[in-house]
Chains A and B, each alone.
Chain A
Amino acid sequence: MSALQNGKAPTRAAASDRRAARALRIILPVIVAAAGTAAWELVVRLYSIPPYVLPAPSAVLSTLVSDWGVLSQSLLTTLLTTLEGFIAASIGGIALALIFNLSKLVEYSFFPYAVILQVTPVIAIAPLLLIYLPQQTAVVVCAWIVGFFPVLSNTTLGLNSVDRNLAGLFQLYHASRWQTLCYLKLPAALPYILGGLRIAGGLSLIGAVVAEIAAGTAGAGSGLAYRIAESGYRLNIPRMFAALFLLSLAGIVIYALLALISHLALRRWHESALGKEN
């Protein structure tokens, strides 16, 4: 008992230390952002830089507010495209990995092409896709192409990392292929799959943006990347910055959401989701 009581005080001190460290990790980036923005504003005002060269943060903010109708519509379009691409990449990547896992012949036949699709820069594929596909479809396909490979390779890795003794146990109890897949392989691969999805989320946004840029002003699209390209032609630089800001924000939100889902799914059992003290 006395040992327990002795141990209590340092534990409390350690907990407050951890809290302070966590607060610092939030406060420091905020300070950096505030200082950077202030310096930017100061330089623009001090040297009277015209907004078509470099708009002040305040100008970007006021554009964000005044153009919110157009920009929010574009944001919605880009997010929808990203979501469609992401869902297609997730389903496609996981399904392909499962098929590869079931049949080595299929894996040997098709895996090289999955790699080729991955290593060919999507910016170079996008103009081709735009010729053969309707624009909206082409944009989703671009998002899918860049998003599916990390899901595929991570899921494959996960399916192959099943504990050998556990696999033996399933064999001992005559588990069917389907049971082994549902009760053993998929749960074992889950941390890897979630890792793949986290990468795919950000990549899907990149894919959508790349395709929108490639479609350019020729397209009938109205996504954020299109808005950036269009604003560039019109020398509406504050709106370019505002659209760029929204894109970054979208990327951060997507990443945070997927990280949260991953944490919620794994927190009870996986090492990656456990605190350091465990």
Chain B
Amino acid sequence: MTEAALSEVDFTTAGLAVSLRDVTKVYDNGVMALGPFDLRVRKGEFVSLLGPSGCGKSTALRIIAGLAAPTSGKVQVSRHEGASQPGQALPAQIQPSRIQASHAIGFVFQEPTLMPWASVRENVRLPLKLAHVPAADSEPRIMEALTRVGLAEFADSYPRELSGGMKMRVSLARALVTDPDILLMDEPFAALDEITRFHLNNDLLTLWRNLNKTVIFVTHSVFESVYLSQRVVVMTRRPGRIGAEIAIDAPEPRGEEFRTSAAYGEYCREVSAALAPSYSGQALL
């Protein structure tokens, strides 16, 4: 366990990074996508949302990010004390959930979602540029973020010149460049081959340990969720609710030996069992 996680094991509001209460989402066409959904994530925690496709886990993530508004319920997103963030001018009339979400959130999409017309450097610069950070200030931050993901020497390449894994790293660097407190990741490695995926999983864990960020990671892979997270939240079929929560109490730092350990297998079996009803169609709660 990291120091951050050890010092903040309480579930009081003060230690929470994200709190969703009775959140529901009904689409315009009347489909109930989510909820009621409750989720509390401690500061510095690594939580995975695991569930079948279309269970609303991505919707939950978009609501936390402020990219979608909840139909009902309360969303609270708080930031770490003393964390740096670029100065942001907020538009005057936006929804309350979006104002709260503006506290330095980094978002990594399922696709790399890079601007094909811009170099890697310019892609990573984007969040800073949108916040009107001067070029002189942004340059060292861009290089720091690129160094963290191991792509410093590819700063002047264009996205099409990179492999799928490298594109995903650029996307990660872009999310890190604002030094967000909370990193939201929506099945970021789903489209990658297994070896690349393992590499990026390890890199992500290293980043998380070093940077003390709160990570909410959406995935449909049992193995990935167990390997990465301190807590796996298993979601039911649509409308998505919490089916089970499983704490993964494995020693840090995790590495390849954890991936091949008996404890890992045991956790995977437990999570798979918790996930099974979501696929067989039985009611869970």
B 248-281 to A, binary, CB cutoff 8 A, 1 in contact else 0: 0000000000000000000000000000000000
Instruction: Using A165-B113, A274-B160 as known contacts, say yes or no to A187 and B118 having CB atoms under 8 A apart.
Output: yes
How many angstroms between the C-alpha atoms of A278 and B111 in the bound complex?
A: 20
Chain B residues within 8 Å of chain A by Cβ, number: 28
Q: Is A166 an interface residue (CB 8 A)?
A: yes
Chain A residues within 8 Å of chain B by Cβ, number: 23
- Please give, as numbers and ranges, the residues of chain A lying within 8 Å of B113 by CB-CB distance: 163, 165-166, 169
Residue of B nearest to A163 (CB): B113
Q: Is A9 an interface residue (CB 8 A)?
A: no
Q: Is A170 an interface residue (CB 8 A)?
A: yes
Interchain CB contact under 8 A, B88 and A174: yes
Instruction: Using A174-B88, A269-B158 as known contacts, say yes or no to A184 and B66 having CB atoms under 8 A apart.
Output: no
Q: Is A270 an interface residue (CB 8 A)?
A: yes
Instruction: Using A168-B67, A274-B160 as known contacts, say yes or no to A173 and B126 having CB atoms under 8 A apart.
Output: yes
A 160-201 to B, binary, CB cutoff 8 A, 1 in contact else 0: 000101101111111110010001100110100000000000
Q: Is A268 an interface residue (CB 8 A)?
A: yes
Interchain CB contact under 8 A, B107 and A169: yes
Of residues 16 through 63 on chain A, the ones whose CB sits less than 8 Å from some CB of chain B are none
Q: Shortest distance in angstroms between B180's beta carbon and chain A's nearest beta carbon?
A: 10
Q: Is B134 an interface residue (CB 8 A)?
A: no
Interchain CB contact under 8 A, B115 and A166: yes
Q: Is the interface of B mostly helix, strand, loop or mixed?
A: loop
- Please give, as numbers and ranges, the residues of chain A lying within 8 Å of B131 by CB-CB distance: 173-174
- Please give, as numbers and ranges, the residues of chain A lying within 8 Å of B88 by CB-CB distance: 174
Interchain CB contact under 8 A, B109 and A165: yes
Interchain CB contact under 8 A, A179 and B130: yes
Of residues 43 through 69 on chain B, the ones whose CB sits less than 8 Å from some CB of chain A are 62, 65-67
Of residues 86 through 129 on chain B, the ones whose CB sits less than 8 Å from some CB of chain A are 88-91, 102, 105, 107, 109-111, 113, 115-118, 126-127, 129
Contacting A172 at CB < 8 Å: which of B90, B107, B111, B158? B107
Instruction: Using A169-B107, A268-B158 as known contacts, say yes or no to A175 and B130 having CB atoms under 8 A apart.
Output: yes
Interchain CB contact under 8 A, B160 and A269: yes
Q: Is B159 an interface residue (CB 8 A)?
A: yes
Interchain CB contact under 8 A, B67 and A183: no
- Please give, as numbers and ranges, the residues of chain B lying within 8 Å of A176 by CB-CB distance: 91
Interchain CB contact under 8 A, B130 and A170: yes
Residue of A nearest to B67 (CB): A168
Contacting A173 at CB < 8 Å: which of B109, B117, B130? B130
Contacting B65 at CB < 8 Å: which of A166, A172, A183? A172
Q: Shortest distance in angstroms between B119's beta carbon and chain A's nearest beta carbon?
A: 8
A→B interface (CB under 8 Å): 163, 165-166, 168-176, 179, 183-184, 187-188, 190, 268-270, 274, 278
